[in-house]
Structure formats: structure tokens, C-alpha cells
Chain A
Amino acid sequence: MADETTPVAVAPAPPAGGTAPGAAGGITPAAKPAAAKAPEKAKVVAPAFREYPTIPALQIDAMVDSNPYVSAAVHNEAVGFPGTLVDGWEQKAVAKMGELLGKYRSLKVYMDACVHCGACTDKCHYFIGTGDPKNMPVARQDLMRSVYRRYYTLPGKLFPKLVGARDMTKDVLDDWFRYYNQCSECRRCSVFCPYGIDTAEVTMAAKEIMDSVGLGHKYVNEIIAKVHKIGNNLGLPGPALENTLEGLEEDVLEDTGAAVKYPLDVKGAEVLLVTPSADFFAEPHVDSLIGYGKVFHAAGISWTLSSKASEAGNFGMFIGNYEQMQKIAMRVREAALELGVKRIVVGECGHAWRVAYAFWNTLTGIGAGASDPFAIQLQKQLDPNYKQPSHICEVTWDLIQAGRLKFNKEANDHRIVTFHDSCNVARGSRMGDYAGGQFDIPRNIIKAVANRYVEMSPDTTHERTFCCGGGGGLLTDELLDLRIKGALPRMEALNRIVQHDGVNFMATICAICKAQFTKVLPYYGFKMSMVGGVHQLVSTAIVLNNEQ
């Protein structure tokens, strides 16, 4: 690999420029697309729809030029990582791998268990969209497995060629940076692996190792630094947030005649709502925030947002860093304790819901069933009659079932709706009381508020859903080509029902999905306004008390 093409050799990269309109975690709310566009952007086009979705032929190195910007020293250091690639990084990376092998059973088992059966090879949306063999899940894992075998297995030490083991070299590191930043950690491959090998676990470990030797991804590390400094991914300070919420109250009053409140930092409220910061200003995200407020208003539940925890997203997960993930999640615990709330509810955000549902109890004690004082301190404050945390869809569906919400379904009749299962919700979390509730509850809500609903092909929904193409910390403009290509399988499934059933609205419950589709839909010939939130539909149809 020529040195000038290697990402790591590059000095601090140019600014990431504008993120997608309303990117969950755009650089700043005011960020405009950078004037100087990277040259490759001129040729960014969507791949053609395939008449029959067949498995693509391999195109070696098709995505070898897809590199995210390398994090500048200032952003790495703000998160506690070395600023630039450290001396002796080879040994340090291998040692870090050893440390992670001792801390994560998933990584240890997944490094050993793969038999190269090939079951996963055609399951990744990035492989389907690009044909690059290193985007096959097993090949992506092998980028790390080859190094694992070299340093941590006997056959790899004795006969590296025989078992495909490689030294940790600059070429290997460059491939890691490229291709572990072409994985959205969506876990689709883990559904199909006979041993449940989850490439997301490998990708997270690789990112953790790269960060630990000073090779970070600018977009993600910059955002994490922002969350610590300001409280949310977008760097939206408290007063701006207050302004935005007041503006929303005025808009809703004008539209509906109802005095719906969007409260901030209200002590003693029953519910603390934690939502992705994109909900505060981005289209279509804000329409769902309006919807949450209307639901609480109609049900007469007192609620509040928090300026301290004004972000549900947790990019600590994307880089596989437990301490960062915990630190980011702790803001929510602290806000809950300060505000004295009885319930914690999470807004429409995919990876945030995975972290909240699956990890918050572990990380911060937000949950139930603890026996240690740290967790009990919070758990005795929370109302045990509700699941802690709850998803906003669980809240709304419970209220619908209890007959506490009324809808004018005809208000949504201009829409023919479908539902895109967001990967982290579908394969990394649950809603309700039974396995698979995360599929039924959002659909139940949609069917309760809209008359016209159509499913996409079952190969692309529920646990088989395809990632939007922008998850896992890849929602940044320098990866636009990858994002467009990665959206191909979802766009094909959508296209089929657009052609056949006239679908004109794709509902989803993830801020990244919303931002990604808003950006990518036009490349496939769709309107960007086709995508929206489930609570956007709720907002349209809900009958507020003041109107009666």
C-alpha cells in the first residue's frame, strides 16, 4: 500500500463538513456542508436496483478508498486516547487485544469458533451494496482473527501461512481502519451464524484497540467529547434547548389550540424523557418529539427533559469502550436522581434503546433487581410498576390499550405507511413482556393511528431487517458513498412496495435511520420526506383534550 493512500499517515483531516440534515449527532446544529468537497464525492451515485436480489460477484478492493477522517489529537485526547499513532503501536495493539480477550468472552469465543462455513457471506448490507469481499462478515472478522491467530494461537505461531495468520503491520492496521469503519454493528450476521458470532463485537474490539494506540475516527470521537462537555451529541447548550422547546410549544398551540408543554429540568416530574438530540431541531425527528409531548399531555402524565442528559445516543457503544459508554450513561442516572423522577423513558433512537434496554442496568443501575447499594439508591426511587427504562412506544401502546388516548385515524389517510425495523432495536433489545415485542408494539401503534399499512418483504423485516446504512458511527459525509451503497437492500424492499402498493411513508424509530434515509432516499429517486417517526404518525392523529 502506497504511503500517501494510507489513512493513518495522513495529518489531521479536513473538517467533516455538514452531516446529513438532522444527523443524529451532527457536528454542530449550525454546521453547513463544507465548501471544499472531497473529490470522490462527484461520482457518488446509487447502485441500480436489481431485478432479482442475487448475491453480488466479488469485486476485490471495491471499497478500498472508503476511509473515515482520522481523529485529530485534540478530539482523541478529550476522550482520553493518545492523540496520534503511538510509538511501538504494533506491540501495544497486540497487547490491547490480549487484554480484551481476557475481558470479553464474546471476543474470545468468536475468535476461536468460526469454521469459515460461509453462511454469513451474503448477509451484510455493505457487502450486498459494494461487492467488496472484505465486507463479508467472516472476512471482516478475519482481519482481526488473522492477527489473533498469529499472536495467541499455537498453529498461528508455528505455521502462520497454513491458518491464515498475519503479523500486525501497517497494511493490516490500514485495512482495520477502512473495513471496521464499514461495519454499522447492526448484528444481522449474528442472526445467521450457527455459533452466533456477532461481527459487531469484533468491530467494537477493533475500534477499541485502534483508539488505544491513537488511531481514532474523527466523527465519533468528536461527538463523544461534545457529549461530555455540553451534554448532547449536537453541542446544543441549555439556553438554546430551552428556546427550541418554547418555540415548539408555540407551534403546537397554534396548530392544535392545545397548550402542550415541552418541559425542561422540572423537579418532581413523574417521567424523565431522554431522547436523541436530533429530536430537538432536525426534520423529521422533531415531529416525533412533538408527538411524545402530545401523548404525555393527552394522558395527563407530568414529564420533563433534562439539560444535563439531553442526549439518549451513546456513541461509547460504537467504539466498544465500556468506560466511555458508562460515563455517557451516568448523566442519565444523575439527572434522574437530581430531578427525583419516578420513570425513565427513552425516545425514538435505535442504538440508544439498545444501550438503555440492555446495558443501563449494568452500567448505571437504571432498571430493577439489584442488590448493591449503588443501584438500589436509584431503584428505590423508580416506580416498580413500570419497566425501567421504558421505550416511548411501550408508554404509548400501554396508554392505547388502557383507552387513555383517542385518535382520528383519517388524519393519516394521505399516507400509505410501512415500517422499517431499526437494527439495534430489532436484534439488540426488546419491548413489552415477550420476545419479539419490539416488532409488534411499533406496528400496533401505527395500526392504531393510521388506516393504510403495508409490510415490506419478510426477508428484510423483523430480526432479518437491513440496517439503514448509516449506523454504528458511520453517519458522516466522508462515508456517503458507503452509506448510499449500504442502503441498497432496504431501498430495494421499499421500492417494491412503492411500486406495488403506492407506499409513501416509511416510519422508523431511530434518529440515525431518519437522518440517513433523509440523505439517501433522493439518490434512489425517492422524496426525502418519505421517512418519519412512529410518533410523527401519532402526532398527526392524536385527539388532544382541548380540542374536544
Chain B
Amino acid sequence: MSVLFAILFYAATLILAGGVLYRIYDYARTPAPLKIPTTPAPTTTGGVAFRMFREVVFFESLFKSNLWIWALGWLFHVGLALVLLRHLRYFTEPVNFIIAFVQPFGMYAGFAMAAGLAGLWARRFLVERIRYISTPSDHLMLALLLGIAVTGLLMKFVMHTDIVAVKTFFLGLMVFEINPLPAHPGLYLHLGMVALLMIIFPVSKLLHAPGLFFSPTRNQVDNPRETRHLAPWAAKFEAKN
């Protein structure tokens, strides 16, 4: 089983990293031929960086749009971020003091994450408009994330596993050694779902994470009259004129 999980995580990591890097390369190489920032938009690069910061950290546009989705979505994402930071202790020895500091917060963040996910999922059933636009994969994605959160919380609070051994397993993977993984159904489930999430990331709507940074309506500087903006394929038309 340990070998199986080792192979699974090597594959998942390769797919996640390779897939997302390819997507980023693909977005970056695709030109944005016209200036289309949603205005009012910042007129300087610094302003755009600040706009992006507010979008990424506070979900500013979503806040303007719908307080319920914002509250649930933000709860989930912040919870997830803290939980991920907390989990860095499985990959580092000695543990960085920031990661050590975050541990108790990360624990409660697990509940916030699960609550946010449950709320978002409930909306898919309860709100007619969102029920209409939901596909089976939208439900499965929430089920997967909630499954990860719940199995994680169960291992923390109900059916403990040998986390020292888990840490040894992952530290080992990082130097290409396979150490025994505790035989624990909750852990198998948790890790299996995490690996699945990593694998589907580059081909799913989870691409919203890199996508936001490449969204022309958000990342363009509003200065079309001051500088000439020309995509290579569009410049070819000019030669004809």
C-alpha cells in the first residue's frame, strides 16, 4: 500500500505541476489583442497590482456581487489556505516557526473550510438559478473537497492516525525513499482524494486560480490613448494597409 501511494503521489505531483505550468504557458503565449479592462480601471501598473491583490485576497468583485457567495467562498478559501500552511509541517524538518505558529489556526480553519463548502453546496440545491447552472462535476468537486476536509477533521478529532509515520512517509518521498504509511482507512481515503484533486486540477474549473491572473479585464492597465498596444497577429493586418 505504501508503494502504491508513493507512486500515486509522484504521478499526481507530476500531473499537477506539469499541467498547471503548461496552462500558465498557454495563457501567457495567447495574445490579448485589444485593451479590455473593465473600467473604471487603474491607470498604472502599480494600480493593477493593487487591484489584483484585492481580488485575490479579498474577492472584491464577488463582495460587490453577492454577500452570501462571498462569505461562504471566502470562508472556504481562507480555511483552505490555513489548512495547507498547517500541512507544510509534514514536508519540512525542522518546522519553520511561521508554520508552527499557524498550527492551532489551521486546526479550526478545517471547520471553516468544511462549513464554507457545505454552504456552497447547499446553494447548488436551494437556489433555483444555481441549481440550473450546476453540472454533475460541480457537485462532485464540492463532494471531493468536503470529503478531504471531513476525513482530515476525523483523523484529527476522532480516529487518530500515526502522524509521525505519515510525516516520515512524505519526507521520504521527497528524497525518493519509500517509508511505511500507517494502515488507516481514514488516511487512505484522505490521501486518495487529495491525489485525485491534484490530478484533475489542470483539466477542471480549478484553473480559475491561475486564470484570474491572466484575465484581461482585471490585469490590464487602462492607458490605451497613451501607449500603443498591438498583438503580433494583429500587426500583420497593418502591413497590408
Contact = CB atoms under 8 A, between A and B. Distances in A.
Interface string B217-241: 1100010111111110110011001
A154 interface: yes
Nearest to B128: A58
A388 B230 CA distance: 17
Interface residues of A, number: 79
Contacts of A121: 129-130, 133
B46 interface: no
B111 interface: no
B235 to A, nearest CB: 8
21 contacts: A103-B31, A105-B27, A108-B26, A109-B215, A112-B207, A112-B211, A118-B127, A164-B136, A190-B217, A196-B216, A197-B215, A201-B36, A358-B224, A361-B229, A365-B228, A369-B226, A372-B228, A428-B36, A429-B39, A430-B222, A435-B39
A387 B225 contact: yes
B32 A106 contact: yes
Contacts of A358: 34-36, 224
A123 interface: yes
Given A118-B129, A162-B140, A463 B40 contact: yes
B208 interface: yes
Interface stretch (A71-79, A132-140, A219-227): A132-140
B69 A153 contact: no
A121 B69 CA distance: 12
A430 B218 CA distance: 15
Interface in B194-224: 200, 203-205, 207-208, 211-212, 214-218, 222, 224
Interface string B165-206: 000000000000000000000000000000000001001110
B34 A116 contact: no
B123 interface: yes
Contacts of A372: 228, 230, 238
Given A106-B217, A162-B135, A362-B230, A112 B241 contact: no
Nearest to B215: A196
B33 interface: yes
A195 B215 contact: yes
Given A187-B38, A194-B55, A361 B224 contact: yes
Interface string A347-375: 00000000001110110010111111011
B30 A105 contact: yes
A496 B40 CA distance: 26
A147 interface: no
Contact of B62 (A116, A119, A430): A119
B211 A118 contact: no
Interface in A95-114: 101-106, 108-110, 112-114
A439 B241 CA distance: 36
A162 B65 contact: no
A201 B36 CA distance: 9
A323 interface: yes
B128 A57 contact: yes
Given A104-B31, A194-B55, A427-B39, 18 more contacts: A58-B129, A105-B30, A113-B207, A117-B120, A133-B133, A136-B132, A162-B137, A163-B135, A195-B208, A197-B217, A198-B36, A358-B224, A361-B229, A370-B228, A372-B228, A427-B38, A429-B39, A435-B47
Nearest to B55: A194
A438 interface: yes
The 3 closest A-B pairs by CB, nearest first: A113-B211, A192-B65, A164-B135
Nearest to A387: B225
A155 interface: yes
A196 B61 contact: yes
Given A154-B203, A359-B34, A330 B140 contact: no
Contacts of A438: 39-40
B33 A133 contact: no
A114 B129 contact: no
Contact of A116 (B59, B66, B135, B231): B135
A453 to B, nearest CB: 21
Interface string B132-170: 111111101000000000000000000000000000000
B32 A368 contact: no
A102 B136 CA distance: 28
B216 A191 contact: no
A142 interface: yes
A428 B61 CA distance: 16
Interface string B2-29: 0000000000000000000001001100
Nearest to A58: B128
A428 B225 CA distance: 13
B137 A164 contact: yes
A349 B4 CA distance: 65
A358 to B, nearest CB: 5
Q: Which of A117, A201, A323 has the most CB of B within 10 A?
A: A117
Contacts of A57: 128
A119 B200 CA distance: 24
Contacts of B216: 105-106, 109, 196
B32 A119 contact: no
A388 B227 CA distance: 11
Contact of B224 (A101, A105, A139, A357): A357
A434 B241 CA distance: 34
A103 B33 CA distance: 8
